[in-house]
Amino acid sequence: MKAMIPLLESAKALDEQERLCDRCLGRCFARLGTGLTNEERGRALRVVLAMLQGREPRRVPPEECAVCRGLFRSADEWAGRALKSVEGYEFHTYLVGTRVPLEIEEAEKALWKRHGIAPKQAEPLKQEFNREVGKRLRGLLLKQGREARVDWEHPDVVLLLDLERGVVEPTINPLYLYGRYRKLVRGLPQTKWPCRHCRGRGCPECDYTGKQYPESVEELIARPVMEAAQGAGHALHGAGREDIDARMLGRGRPFVLEIERPRRRSLNLKELEREINERAQGKIEVHGLTFVDRRAVEIVKGMEDKRKVYRARVEFERPVAQPELDEALSRLVGEVQQRTPQRVSHRRADLIRTRQVFEIQGEMTGEREAVIEVTAEGGLYIKELVSGDEGRTRPSLSELLGVPARVTELDVLDVLGEVPLEADADENKEPS
């Protein structure tokens, strides 16, 4: 026994001093050797110890194990419960988690401490239980002709096994769809706008809808998707937003539609796109719908700073000549200091931002009317770039011309910049 390597010394101490089943003994050495179950590891160590000592290998029935107390016998039952907890929900990826009773966790911790077992060589019981239940869940699904795999990062569903309470707490993660929308009419908000009078509770003013506007870009896109996915709710994350009275033309504005608790995830996006566009009756149009994961929300929100191209119809208080306009516009290129406009100051922090105008040109279309096209940094308010907002935006077209001017119509023509989500759009037509 003198030559016994530390592994066997440690196994011998565990075998003789603790009441551990093969699985729990093996789990103390889980990271040593591959292609073995913990039960096989424990059993193998016991066989070697018995051979070295010329005796029979020790056997501890799992029910008598000081750590697991036979917990793994219930793995099948837990897999069944887990499956039942997400009945009626389609999913292709999952993650199993376990909330272990305190006494099991402490027994394991104490055991590791008594025997100097390093966490890098052992595996926590929790992890093995997750895996064992996950394997069985996969088996149950296969029997139903369904396939699912573990996803640590972005699982469709998370199944939390609460051992103490004997219940599975499922989390149905949202479904995320990326696309671009074009808004072809004015007077349509991007998202639901609560009624000014009742703040969304419903009152005679809003016909008890709680809404200031009967519909929004979000609702027009989400309605058909909600029906197909049978979700419980939705949210639209846009790469910025245009004013209610501005159209969004060109390639459209990138967005991610989030569908909460979807029952169906296999959607025919081409067909859905057609249906959204048909039912929106020319108010909006979407294209490039593709399945994405949660990360896309941040990517799209981060696009708010991207350059945008706008077209504005401008009205002047007195006649302006083309050369005058050209001269003023050329001087608008460069930095603009813009204090939060009065019209949004009730919902935006009051601060002064510096934004760039990259390109601007215009054409007089009447004595007191022009159409201008601007390429500017995201976040620059175009209406105020024209009007000056009583000196809150400087320079402004009004200031440079010495003629009060205001925007009567605004269109966003493009949101510039690469969208990583569009690069892999073609290979991403199926939910993962």
- Positions touching Zn ion (CB under 5 A) are 21, 24, 65, 67-68, 195, 197-198, 203, 205-206
C-beta of 202 vs 404, nearer to Zn ion: 202
Helices (H), 194-293: 217-229, 269-279
Characterize the bridge pairing of strands 246-260 and 284-292: unpaired
CB of 105 to Zn ion, least distance (A): 14
Answer yes or no: 424 catalytic: no
- Residue 193's CB is within 10 A of a number of other CB atoms, namely 16
Measured between its terminal Cα atoms, the distance across the chain in Å is 54
**Which is nearest to 260 in space by CA: 331, 347, 173, 327?**
173
C-beta of 14 vs 405, nearer to Zn ion: 14
C-beta of 194 vs 402, nearer to Zn ion: 194
C-beta of 21 vs 272, nearer to Zn ion: 21
Phi, psi for 132 (deg, rounded to 5): -65, -45
CB of 337 to Zn ion, least distance (A): 38
Q: What are the tokens at 191?
A: 């998202």
CB of 200 to Zn ion, least distance (A): 7
Distance from the Cα of residue 352 to its chain's centroid: 31
| Cross-strand partners of 182 | 285
**Which is nearest to 314 in space by CA: 359, 375, 374?**
374
C-beta of 25 vs 137, nearer to Zn ion: 25
CB of 244 to Zn ion, least distance (A): 17
CB of 331 to Zn ion, least distance (A): 46
Q: Given its phi and psi angles, is residue 261 left (phi above 0), alpha (psi -120 to 50 degrees) or beta?
A: left
User: Which entry of 151, 243, 389, 411 is annotated as an active-site residue?
Assistant: 243
Tell me the catalytic residues.
243
